[in-house]
Amino acid sequence: MSKILMRIPVLMLAALALAGCTRGIDSTPGNAPNLEKWVADVKARPAPALDPLPVMQQFETFEYAAQNLRDPFSNAFTDESGGSGPRPDPNRPRQALEQFPLDSLDMVGTIGTGPGMIGLVMAPDKVTYRVRPGAYMGQNDGRITAIHEDRIELVELVPDGAGGWLERPATLALEDQ
């Protein structure tokens, strides 16, 4: 019974605490004068001033008039007089071995003897091509000048940096298997 007597005061304190929490809360209209006064004060305040619009800058117009000037993308050192010296022939039909760099081609043998000798060249696509003197191969307009049993000799045209072209000898040697 002492347990029940001890619970009664605890329950009474809890009931008083809850009753104290509801004190001052009244949901009837007109019983919130502080809130109504605050809303009226806020509505009565004047609206804050807006910042002025930024001043628009006046931009200068620029007229591009370089039609009579030198083209900046052309080579300034190009000799347009058509000077002498070797030049690649742009109208010559390209041959199959000209799509590969010369260092990617391998000489794999020859057919025949003497001046009618034919060279055998394997390209990176694993196709073997027959070449004769006068044929072209490599990406620098390399023209075959001679075919020997152990090498193919050719002359390439390379730009000299001043708008002209230089002939450079090159050799494709037979690979030792």
Q: What is the pLDDT of residue 137?
A: 93
Residue 63, both tokens: 């007229």
Query: Which residues have a Cβ under 8 Å from the Cβ of 107 and sit 6 or more positions away?
Result: 119, 120, 121, 151, 152, 172, 173, 174, 175
Q: What is the pLDDT of residue 10?
A: 82
Q: What is the pLDDT of residue 160?
A: 82
The sign of the CA dihedral 34, 35, 40, 42 is: positive
Q: What is the pLDDT of residue 121?
A: 93
For residue range 42-63, what is the model confidence (pLDDT) as tens digits?
999 998 888 998 898 888 888 8
Which residues in the chain show pLDDT less than 50?
Answer: 81
Q: Point out which residues pair with 159 in neighbouring strands.
A: 165
Q: What is the C-alpha to C-alpha distance for residues 169 and 144, in angstroms, rounded to an integer? A: 10
- 146 and 116 Cβ atoms separated by less than 8 Å: no
Query: How do the domains of the chain map onto residue ranges?
Result: 96-173
Domain 96-173 part of CATH 3.40.50.920: no
- 120 and 106 Cβ atoms separated by less than 8 Å: no
Q: What is the C-alpha to C-alpha distance for residues 21 and 7, in angstroms, rounded to an integer? A: 22
DSSP class of residue 69?
A: S
Q: What is the pLDDT of residue 29?
A: 57
